[in-house]
Amino acid sequence: MTVLRFVLGDQLSISLSSLSDLDPANDVILMAEVMEEATYTPHHTRKIAFVFSAMRHFAATMEKAGATVRYVRLDDTGNTGTLRGELIRATEDLVPDRVVVTEAGEWRLRSEMAKWQQLIGTPVELREDDRFVCSHEEFRSWADGRKQLRMEFFYRDMRRKTGLLMTAAGKPEGGQWNFDTENRRSLPAGLAVPKLTRFEPDSTTLEVLDLVSDRFSQHFGDLDAFDYAVTAEEAETALQAFLDKRLAGFGPYQDAMKQGEDHLFHAVISMYLNVGLLDPVSVCRRAERAYLDGAAPLNAVEGFIRQIIGWREYVRGIYWLHMPDYAQTNYLEANRPLPSFYWTGDTKLNCLHQAIDETRRLAYAHHIQRLMITGNFALLVGVRPQEICDWYLAVYADAYEWVELPNTHGMAIFADGGVMASKPYAASGAYIDRMSDYCRGCRYDVKQKTGDDACPFNYLYWNFLMKNAEKLRGNRRLAMPYRTLDRMDPDRKASIQRDSGRFLEELSK
């Protein structure tokens, strides 16, 4: 009895639900590099290379373990270019008794999967993706009846469920759930930042790099000096280097930004977690161990674990709870096209230039760059939700809609009207100046509030609050800025509107 087990490019985990009862003697694993998945959004070339190389390495690992893999390369003759086409071809060739597949992470593909059985006329068993702490069902029942779905309360439940950083008495380690008051510091001058571990491309990766530079030359992003981990073992090495050298600094400096330091104290593991090369709970247990061994302080370890069992699980829950309608909302009625410099980095606003340039080089930018630089700017100038979401989905190596969309649509641009965030993450230049050294190298002056040389974030921030007053004034967390606005001198208000009008007009050209 042959079972065809279809494994997608972000399902590269030996413990995957669709492989749990693999019979290597009879079953066939199907994996396919297809144009449709590589182009449904114009993915960064580094992301395509990473996914294809990791897929090829995973197939080789499975074959070494005795499994039979039908691996379809992008340039193989007969490649239909779609996952459904490859499924049809494989079922016609192999005539399996049934197909087993773990549900896709993105709504687009998950809803297509529901039609596969009818399409091929063979039973298709869709299995839950159990590489997460919280199932769809569990999130739904957590959300049921709650007025507000705040991450902090969800996170506490995930701590209780996993037992991570919990005492024997069932209390949070250190007597608090959250140590962020000890975090969010700016970088002290001269602080040395450990370098990231590089992985030299092997012959498989080199072949993929040639393929990608040949077939996707029109896509955004640099492919030079590709150095990602592409196997579970390499991802494990990358994680270990983070735990040894950067975890202790993760807490205090997780919101800091510095020109020329692309990763600072971040883990740089999201792309590995999201394709399954690392397991989220194991990663957290390793960080917890570092705390228990005295190698990293509690504020850093708790903050790191919160990102994974808190934020990562929570955004996935929100996505599946509200899709497909979630992607359609536009609470602030934002209607501006995405400025073209998001694709080139060609802007005089140095913070934006740095964040976009890093994104182009590495398919990576850390959270605060995504939220408070590119996200904040899109929020303040009112970029159309779909255009900014499509950009984030395309440009980051870790981008899959289940995690990208709530972070962008909800957290960064408030297009969901507050499902995710209790207020818009809008900030003026003062925040960027406090958390980075970008302003020193900028043509604009962050201290100036109005006029040609003033930092555009300064007037755009107040302009945003004025423009959206009807929708935002009632938000208690914005009471203070609205009080300041109400007391503001009318001349100052007029110059804010004038400067913003001029800037936005220029942006539209």
Give the interface with ligand SF4 as residue ranges (CB under 6 A): 349-351, 429, 432-433, 438-439, 442, 444, 446, 455-457
Measured from the CB of residue 444, what is the shortest distance to ligand SF4 in angstroms? 4
Region of 102-110, 116-124, 155-163, 363-371 interacting with ligand DLZ (CB under 6 A): 102-110
Q: Please choose which of ligand FAD, ligand SF4, ligand DLZ, none residue 34 contacts, taking the beta carbon within 5 to 8 angstroms, the exact cut-off set by kind.
A: ligand DLZ
Which x/- pattern over 427-466 shows residues binding ligand FAD (rule: CB under 6 A)? ----------------------------------------
> Shortest Cβ distance from residue 486 to ligand FAD (Å)?
30
48 binds ligand DLZ (CB under 6 A): yes
SS3 label, residue 125: strand
Residue whose C-alpha is closest to residue 48's, from 183, 218, 243: 218
Q: Does 408 bind ligand FAD (CB under 6 A)?
A: yes
The CB-of-141 to ligand SF4 minimum distance in angstroms stands at 43
Cα dihedral 296, 299, 301, 303 sign: negative
| Least distance in angstroms from the C-beta of 389 to ligand SF4 | 23
Q: Can you spell out the DSSP letters for 244-270?
A: HHTHHHHHHHTT--BTTBSSTT----H
Q: Which ranges constitute the DSSP H helices of 163-231?
A: 203-215
Euclidean distance between CA atoms 83 and 74, whole angstroms? 11
Please identify, using beta-carbon distances, which residue of 116 and 319 lies nearer to ligand FAD.
Answer: 319
Non-local (6+) Cβ contacts of 339 within 8 A are 347, 381, 383, 507
Among residues 277, 332, 363, 371, the one that binds ligand FAD under rule CB under 6 A: 371
Q: 296 or 308: whose CB is closer to ligand FAD?
A: 308
Distance CA 194, CA 264 (A): 8
Tell the smallest beta-carbon distance from residue 494 to ligand SF4 (Å): 21
Does 398 engage in binding with ligand FAD (CB under 6 A)?
A: yes
Burial class (CB in 10 A: 0-12, 13-18, 19+), 466: middle
- Among positions 4, 16, 34, 278, the unique one binding ligand DLZ when judged by CB under 6 A: 34
- Buried (b) or exposed (e) across 140-165, using 16+ Cβ within 10 A? eebeeeeeebebeebbebbbeebebb
Cα–Cα distance between 101 and 124 in angstroms, integer? 7
Residue 17 carries which DSSP code?
G
CB of 48 to ligand DLZ, least distance (A): 5
Residue 442 interacts with which of ligand DLZ, ligand SF4, ligand FAD, none, CB < 5 to 8 Å by class? ligand SF4
Q: Among ligand SF4, ligand DLZ, ligand FAD, none, what does residue 359 contact (CB within 5–8 Å per kind)?
A: none
The answer to whether 372 and 361 are in contact (CB under 8 A) is: no
Mode of pairing for the β-strands spanning 3-6 and 124-127: unpaired
The string of DSSP codes covering 131-177 is SSSS-HHHHHHHHTT-S---HHHHHHHHHHHH-TTB-TTS-BGGG-S
Please, which of residues 330-349 interact with ligand DLZ by CB under 6 A? none
Which tokens in the block code for residue 434?
A: 């406090």
How many CA atoms, within 13 angstroms, populate the side-chain half-sphere of residue 439? 19
Sign for the CA dihedral angle at 278, 46, 103, 420 comes to positive
Beta bridge partners of 101: 6, 126
Out of ligand DLZ, ligand SF4, ligand FAD, none, what residue 48 binds, judged by CB under 5 to 8 A for its kind, is ligand DLZ
By CB under 6 A, name the one of 258, 367, 434, 471 that touches ligand FAD: 367
Choose among 328, 321, 311: nearest CA to 371: 311
As to burial, measured by CB atoms within 10 angstroms (0-12 exposed, 13-18 middle, 19+ buried), residue 497 is middle
**CB burial readout 92-125, b (16+ within 10 A) else e:** eebebeebbbbbbbbbebbeebeebeeebebebe
Q: Which residue is nearest to ligand DLZ (CB)?
A: 9
Judged by CB, which is closer to ligand DLZ: 179, or 392?
Answer: 392
How many of the chain's residues bind ligand FAD (CB under 6 A)?
A: 28
Q: Establish if 312 lies at the interface with ligand FAD (CB under 6 A).
A: yes
Residue 446 touches which member of ligand SF4, ligand DLZ, ligand FAD, none, C-beta under 5-8 Å by kind: ligand SF4
> For ligand DLZ, which residue of 19, 51, 290, 460 counts as binding (CB under 6 A)?
51
- Enumerate residues 260-319 that contact ligand DLZ by CB under 6 A: none
Closest CB to ligand SF4 among 382 and 429? 429
Can you tell me which residue has the tokens 């999130």? 139
Asked whether position 44 contacts ligand DLZ by CB under 6 A, the answer is: no
- In angstroms, give the least distance from the CB of 10 to ligand DLZ: 4
State yes or no: residue 32 binds ligand DLZ (CB under 6 A).
Answer: yes
| Least distance to ligand DLZ, CB of residue 79, Å | 10
Residue 39 forms beta bridges with which residues? none
Name the residues that contact ligand DLZ, by CB under 6 A.
8-10, 32-34, 37-38, 43, 48, 51, 83, 104-106, 109, 400
Q: Which residues sit at the interface with ligand FAD, rule CB under 6 A?
A: 266-270, 273-274, 304, 307-308, 311-312, 315, 366-367, 370-371, 375, 392, 396, 398-399, 403-404, 407-408, 411-412
